[in-house]
Structure 1
Amino acid sequence: MKVLDFIVGLGPQVMMPIIITIFGLVLGAKFGKSLRAGLTVGVGFVGLNLVIGLLGGTLGPAAQEMVQRLGLNLTVIDVGWPAAAAIAFASRVGAIIIPIGLLVNILMLVTNTTQTVNIDIWNYWHFAFTGALVQGATGSTALGILAAVLDMIIIMVIADLTAPGIEKYNGLPGISLPHGFSGAFVPIAIALNKVLDIIPGINKIEIDAEDLQEKFGVFGEPILIGTILGILIGIGAGYDVKGVLETGITLGAVLVLIPKMAAMLMEGLMPISDAAQSLIERKYKGKGKMYIGLDSAVGVGHPVTLAVSLVLVPVTILLAAVLPGNKVLPFADLAVIPFMLVMLVPITKGNVFRTFIIGLITISTGLLIATNLAPLHTQMAVNAKFQMPEGATMISSICDGANPLSWLFTRTMEFKVVGTVIMVAIALGLAIYNRKRIMNQNSEN
């Protein structure tokens, strides 16, 4: 465990170059090419994290000012994903999630139930969080571990199924996003998108990023959209002229820089992806396509994802005030809204209108889920000796407190045997379906 803690502590910016270099060598690429790819990926992650940090550092305080100006008095405090991750890793499930996750991925690859090599081990905490919730709800560590495993299986299948859309609409060839938070919203988005398909009038509305740019010219470009939305957010936060302009310019910069950092990361991954496909064609003919599983941060740079996310920040604060049954005060995690939407864009095919509508319903649902899970979330924090915010009696987070898949596992497996059978059946059913799809795809190749 000390070795695993050390590896996790290094973070992706250090471990990714090492993993990618080794991965490249295993796939048959030359050392120099593998090393360059690894270092380029590491630089891409550093840049991506810096820009996402800039987004959070600008958007978070502005959102908090909006909350204070509205005088919202809600009893569950959103403490953010870093606290949720720490709480998850501090649980009994979290202590062993990395070796278990690696084993699950290997078994799924061997049995052809996934096409994804998930090297995003830092985000295994999402699976641990689900497991810790189930453990808290049932009092059983074994059921908690089982829930984490089943959660990972479901997310791996979702990553495979959405990978072609991620390639097409996010410009990430050879990449899938087995992210426990982002992937959990995919089934809801698919269902809502089908509902929008059958509503007269609504089903005819088509607005995408290219349309906006054509209609509004320079004002439809990401840099202007980000700047304008940033200025509006700064005004909503009550900033002075200097603060408003700084917020506008910063968020305009974010909408430009995130795609550029993601492109640099992809520059490093492309030689590895090509080497993987070349190896499969040479030695495993008929095995089909393989994907490298990464953090969904690499996909948040889509202009629709970022623009809709910025619009939804003040909307989420207003929703929290008026949504019946909600007790969560959105706070630290408002900057993770892009991660809720990143895998929705391929489903809506980049339609701004649909992405906004589905995002609005998703966030509304998420606030109610976070409210429902808050007592368990708080108990997990107490068990992990987490320092509660001053004056807070209950805590939650948008990521992963509002995770619909975590909620489904928790509330279903509370019924012990019956609930466990249901969730096992769902996970294994999806794995079997995915295997049949992969085998059919392989036979066609």
Structure 2
Amino acid sequence: MDFAAASQWINGFLSSVGAAVFVPIIMIIMGLIVRMKPKDAISAGILLGVAFTGMSMLISYMGNIIQPVGEAMLKNLGIDLPILDGGWTTMAAIAWSWPYAILMFPLMIIVNIIMLVGNKTDTFNADLWNVWGKIFTAVGVVGLTGNVLLAFVIAAIQIVFELKTADLFKDEIYELTGIPGVTCTHKMVFLSAIYYPIDKLLRKIPALNHKADAEALHDKIGIFAENHVLGFILGCLFGLLGGYDPGALLTLGIQCAMCLTLFPVISKYFMEALSPISEAVSDYMHGKFEGRTLVVGLDWPFLGGSNEIWITIILSIPLTVLYAFILPDNKILPFAGIVNIALVVPAYLVTKGNLPRMIILSVIGIPIFLLVGTAFAPFVSQLALSTGAVAKDALGASGLISNSSIDGPWFTYAFSQFLDCMNGNFIPLGMLIVWLAGYFYMYRDMKKVAAKKAESEATEPAAE
């Protein structure tokens, strides 16, 4: 088999259909395997595609109206940053250009099956679309060491961590979304290993340790917490910061109001599509794995109905611009990644939707994205040019491109570059140690909390 040609074909196919087609196909096949009626499986799969498309359209629309604001703010501040922000699509194009990319599919499936059979995970990862995230980590290892085998070993370790993290947050995700039988296997959740210890400290502050989600905010400030009103206020604020004239400012306000109003609406379609599939998978797997409740691992968009996520994302935009200006070692101009979902989703899960703590964690997290994006720029630029993912004349005078919103930036940089210590660069190795320490602290602490909760629920009937 010509692996390079196969990988190129897969890249072309995925680029032409996207997650809105690829993921529903996987879910329909899964539904048929677990003996759903064909009409029910197909209906649920198509509705899931509708939900993905609706969420993608809203995010794209939001990006199109918000990015010019960030650009105007940067221009008003007179910022000149040489590294072009190519967004996640540049990273994906580089990943799929790797000759061995096709082998990541069987690796991901085999590791998942081994862990399921060995009772090491309760998650079946159906998010094959984001296999490119593992490929990019592997490409980073190859770029540094030239060792393909080692690259697949590191990718396998990432797959294991994705499954274990999905297991860790599955109950919390159900509490937050109300969607049964699903969890998130996206590597953006890896930033929770950095956020969690910080959030534990924030919980010790009385003012921050109470219910403070969008619903609680609504109870306190009434109409000003309504999605459409809050969106309008935030949109007008950003128009003001961007130097917009009154007409453009009010238009931006209405556009932002529309986005915040429709995100929860689209999220309901994820619930409607995923519920019958997840229930069928659960029933089928219960017969195969008696005594265990298995869940389906998915990409992040089914979490997109959270108002807290979008409020924090919008508030993070001027903060990102400010950091880009004042952060001494930052050289990347945040543009394509300025609507940074990977910054906020792990904060949402760690805080259980506590808006003030989400904002604080995002303030802490923004520099991580900018600095990792800057550090990756020489490596990414070389790969982008060598693979043809980006034309040389598109890179500008600096010849550098990267991404200001790399998913799981701390993990990605540390795990793909830690062997650079052999060349005298110990920063990635230090980041690896910090991430592992944060992850195992989070894992142990969340397991303890879950055990106490289960024990409390078990004793409640007896107490009655």
Structure 2 unmatched runs, 5+:
1-5, 459-464
CA gap 1:402/1:102 in 2 versus in 1, 3 angstroms: closer
**Aligned residue among 259, 263, 267 for 1:258:** 263
* Runs of 4+ in structure 1 over 6 Å off: none
Per-residue displacement from partner, 1:234-277 (whole Å, max 9, x unpaired)?
A: 22222222321222111111112122112102211111111122
Aligned residue number for residue 349 of structure 1: 352
Residue 95 of structure 1, CA deviation? 4.4
**Aligned residue among 275, 291, 296 for 2:295:** 291
Using the TM superposition, name which of 30-39 and 390-399 deviates more. 390-399
> How far apart are the structure 2 equivalents of 1:389 and 1:97?
29
CA gap 1:138/1:281 in 2 versus in 1, 3 angstroms: closer
Q: Is the 8 A contact 1:205 1:353 kept in 2?
A: no
The residue type equivalent to 1:255 in the other structure is L
Structure 1 unmatched runs, 5+:
none
The residue type equivalent to 1:377 in the other structure is V
Residue 115 of structure 1, CA deviation? 1.8
> How far apart are the structure 2 equivalents of 1:98 and 1:221?
43
Identity %: 31
Higher relative contact order (CA 8 A, sep 6+): 1
Per-residue displacement from partner, 1:256-310 (whole Å, max 9, x unpaired)?
A: 21221121022111111111222233443212x2121111122133111110110
Per-residue displacement from partner, 1:357-393 (whole Å, max 9, x unpaired)?
A: 0111011222122222222222222222222422233
> How far apart are the structure 2 equivalents of 1:228 and 1:303?
15
> How far apart are the structure 2 equivalents of 1:192 and 1:367?
19
Q: Is the 8 A contact 2:264 2:305 kept in 1?
A: yes
Q: Is the 8 A contact 1:170 1:346 kept in 2?
A: no
Using the TM superposition, name which of 60-69 and 93-102 deviates more. 93-102
> How far apart are the structure 2 equivalents of 1:392 and 1:260?
43
Aligned residue number for residue 318 of structure 2: 314
The residue type equivalent to 1:396 in the other structure is S
Aligned residue number for residue 365 of structure 2: 362
Taking the TM superposition and a 5 Å limit, the aligned residue runs for 1:138-149 are: 138-149=145-156
Count of residues paired in the alignment? 430
Aligned residue number for residue 461 of structure 2: none
Taking the TM superposition and a 5 Å limit, the aligned residue runs for 1:362-401 are: 362-385=365-388, 386-387=390-391, 388-400=394-406
Per-residue displacement from partner, 1:381-411 (whole Å, max 9, x unpaired)?
A: 2222222422233221123277110111133
The residue type equivalent to 2:217 in the other structure is L
**2:243 is the counterpart of 1:243:** no
Aligned residue number for residue 227 of structure 2: 222
Secondary structure at 1:324 match in 2 = coil
Aligned residue number for residue 186 of structure 1: 192
> How far apart are the structure 2 equivalents of 1:283 and 1:150?
26
**2:38 is the counterpart of 1:31:** yes
The residue type equivalent to 1:310 in the other structure is I
The residue type equivalent to 1:405 in the other structure is F
Secondary structure at 1:329 match in 2 = coil
Q: Is the 8 A contact 2:369 2:406 kept in 1?
A: no
The residue type equivalent to 2:203 in the other structure is D
Secondary structure at 2:222 match in 1 = helix
Secondary structure at 2:329 match in 1 = coil
**Aligned residue among 329, 334, 337 for 2:338:** 334
Q: Is the 8 A contact 1:328 1:367 kept in 2?
A: yes
Residue 333 of structure 1, CA deviation? 0.6
> How far apart are the structure 2 equivalents of 1:62 and 1:276?
44
Q: Is the 8 A contact 1:94 1:128 kept in 2?
A: yes
Q: Is the 8 A contact 2:208 2:357 kept in 1?
A: no
Secondary structure at 2:296 match in 1 = strand
Aligned residue number for residue 115 of structure 1: 122
TM-score, normalised via structure 2 length: 0.85
The residue type equivalent to 1:142 in the other structure is L
Q: Is the 8 A contact 2:208 2:356 kept in 1?
A: no
> How far apart are the structure 1 equivalents of 2:264 and 2:139?
34
Secondary structure at 1:328 match in 2 = coil
**2:84 is the counterpart of 1:77:** yes
